[in-house]
Chain A
Amino acid sequence: MAGTGAGGNDVQWCFSQVKGAIDDDVAEADIISTVEFNHSGELLATGDKGGRVVIFQQETENKCQPLSRSEYNVYSTFQSHEPEFDYLKSLEIEEKINKIRWLPQKNAAQFLLSTNDKTIKLWKISERDKRPEGYNLKEEDGRYRDSTTITTLRVPVFRPMDLMVEASPRRIFANAHTYHINSISVNSDNETYLSADDLRINLWHLEITDRSFNIVDIKPANMEDLTEVITAAEFHPHQCNTFVYSSSKGTIRLCDMRASALCDRHSKLFEEPEDPSNRSFFSEIISSISDVKFSHSGRYMMTRDYLSVKIWDLNMENRPVETYQVHEYLRSKLCSLYENDCIFDKFECCWNGNDSVVMTGSYNNFFRMLDRSQRRDVTLEASRESSKPRQVLKPRRVCAGGKRKKDEISVDSLDFNKKILHTAWHPQENIIAVATTNNLYIFQEKVN
């Protein structure tokens, strides 16, 4: 049952929970900027524009009701990054959390990396459920006892206390990026990770904050020659020497760190050929890759550009093996999408646990589930109207033009301010987290 077989369509998705305020007046700080499950799926982290991280924990299933699905409740929240101003360069450094990546769990504590545009931080989240009591020199409330009244000695003992979850910054990786960090990715070796900005990718050791190695540098000698920037980067899930990075021109480069210290020359270049006469003003902008994700198997990678999702076989560079249209009806709206800047929105994408279904967001709080194995797709909506407990989500349809059928919504009625940019899929189960502007929706597979 856990994520196997059931695809995007045989699975019926139900509303489970929604987090966040209902009011329409959204404070900028509350805009969700990243969502990420940890490796077991027990924890779900969100980051927002205000630099805050909120972590939810899956409740252990209620033994009285074995069929009821467990819920995610707040586990910890902390201020990860604060706004800064670089006085030397007169540059604002936003506190917005661009990415969160969890480290695999090694001991009782949990660790995650969170990053804004310039600084990456390693956070330790630990539980405290007992405290020492029975000190000789102090009262329980901390006041010191009058030493003349102490006539006996006792050994302090640990006694249970209400669970306290503490987050503390263990490492701060700063001053290594001139440009804005778009990605972080933990290596399968669990010792190193990469951080990528618009022009460079750096390799760090998790224990060492005072230096990092530059492994990719695409900055041209003359900035007027600049033609493309790095948009995303990720380490291979199993091969610790391999990583990929995507560009604003729609290409993906796979690099092998064994080949050289500076991986400016790719080992593989993934690019779908295009007839130059078919290019329009918008071609390059809509081909810019906003996200790249390896499959869990490590055999494939998925890229998201403005209108489509592509699956690439790492063994085939000249074209993707699968291409899925996310919202093709927007192609006839590119002019207005350019004018309102929506054409530059960066949508993410994610795989389900067994790589059979992929998911990505769209506008009007719609999101798309693309079932690779069954060659079917569905459009669902995250809305307060469909948020009764265990309410099954109804498929949505967009009418591109011509006669609008009942239950369809026309392209011109779509709300382009309601974007789903960030989604995450539980690593094993059919549980998904979908972020609207300021709300986090959790949907689960219908249990009969």
Chain B
Amino acid sequence: SEALFGEAEPETKMISMEKAEEAKLKAKYPNLGSKPGGSDFLRKRLQKGKYFDSGDYNMAKATKNKQLPVASVEKTEITGDHIPTPQDLPQRKPSLVASKLAV
């Protein structure tokens, strides 16, 4: 039955529902630690956005945008003959498009 405004389910029912859900979770993931919200979990949260290095980051961005970093091949260049400079590499920064809310 739907919980009414300001009236939670009786506390015993709330806890038994939660414990039933907990049992379901532990059945699926027996290796789950018993202390969620503990320091491992929080530290993982603090690490959000961490990559191994900038190469790792750029590869992740490329995969996300479904673009592979393809340098434009000039017909006059021979592979191995030309050391690329930063200017030769394609910019993978996403183009700045206006928000659709502002249409």
Contact = CB atoms under 8 A, between A and B. Distances in A.
A332 B103 CA distance: 42
Interface in A318-364: 322-325, 328-329, 331-335, 338-339
**Residue among A249, A283, A370, A440 with max Cβ neighbours from chain B (10 Å):** A283
B19 A280 contact: yes
Contacts of A224: 39
Contact of B49 (A30, A94, A282): A94
A280 B5 contact: no
Interface string A11-35: 0000000011100000001101000
A22 to B, nearest CB: 10
A325 B43 contact: no
B28 to A, nearest CB: 8
A229 B45 contact: yes
Contact of B39 (A227, A322, A332, A402): A227
Interface in B28-69: 28, 32, 34, 36-39, 42-43, 45-46, 48-54, 56-57
A282 B54 CA distance: 36
Nearest to B100: A21
A89 B50 contact: yes
Interface stretch (A46-54, A297-305, A415-423): A46-54
B1 interface: yes
B96 interface: yes
In this complex, the member of A21, A46, A333, A338 whose beta carbon has the largest number of chain B beta carbons within 10 angstroms is A338
Interface of A: 19-21, 29-30, 32, 46, 48, 50, 52, 54, 74, 77, 79, 82-83, 85, 87, 89-94, 117, 179-180, 198-199, 223-229, 248-249, 278, 280-285, 288, 308, 322-325, 328-329, 331-335, 338-339, 370, 375-377, 397-402, 438, 440
A91 B6 contact: no
4 nearest A-B residue pairs (beta carbon): A328-B3, A280-B18, A284-B37, A377-B5
Contacts of A20: 100-101
Given A50-B99, A323-B6, A438-B100, A90 B25 contact: no
Given A30-B100, A226-B42, A285-B36, A400 B2 contact: yes
Contacts of A226: 39, 42-43, 46
Contacts of B88: none
The DSSP consensus for interface residues of chain A is: mixed
Nearest to A403: B1
A91 B25 contact: no
Contact of A331 (B14, B34, B102): B14
A322 B8 CA distance: 12
A100 to B, nearest CB: 13
Contacts of A77: 98-99, 101-102
Contacts of B21: 280, 282, 331-335
Given A90-B53, A90-B54, A334-B18, A227 B38 contact: yes
Given A285-B36, A402-B1, A79 B96 contact: yes
A335 B24 contact: yes
B94 interface: yes
Given A281-B34, A335-B25, A400-B3, A93 B98 contact: no
Nearest to A23: B100
Contacts of B2: 328-329, 397-400
Nearest to A28: B64
A281 B36 contact: yes
A90 B101 contact: no
A429 B53 CA distance: 50
Given A30-B101, A74-B102, A400-B3, 11 more contacts: A74-B101, A91-B49, A226-B39, A226-B43, A227-B42, A248-B37, A322-B6, A325-B6, A328-B2, A331-B21, A438-B100
A173 B80 CA distance: 45
B25 A229 contact: no
A323 B11 CA distance: 14
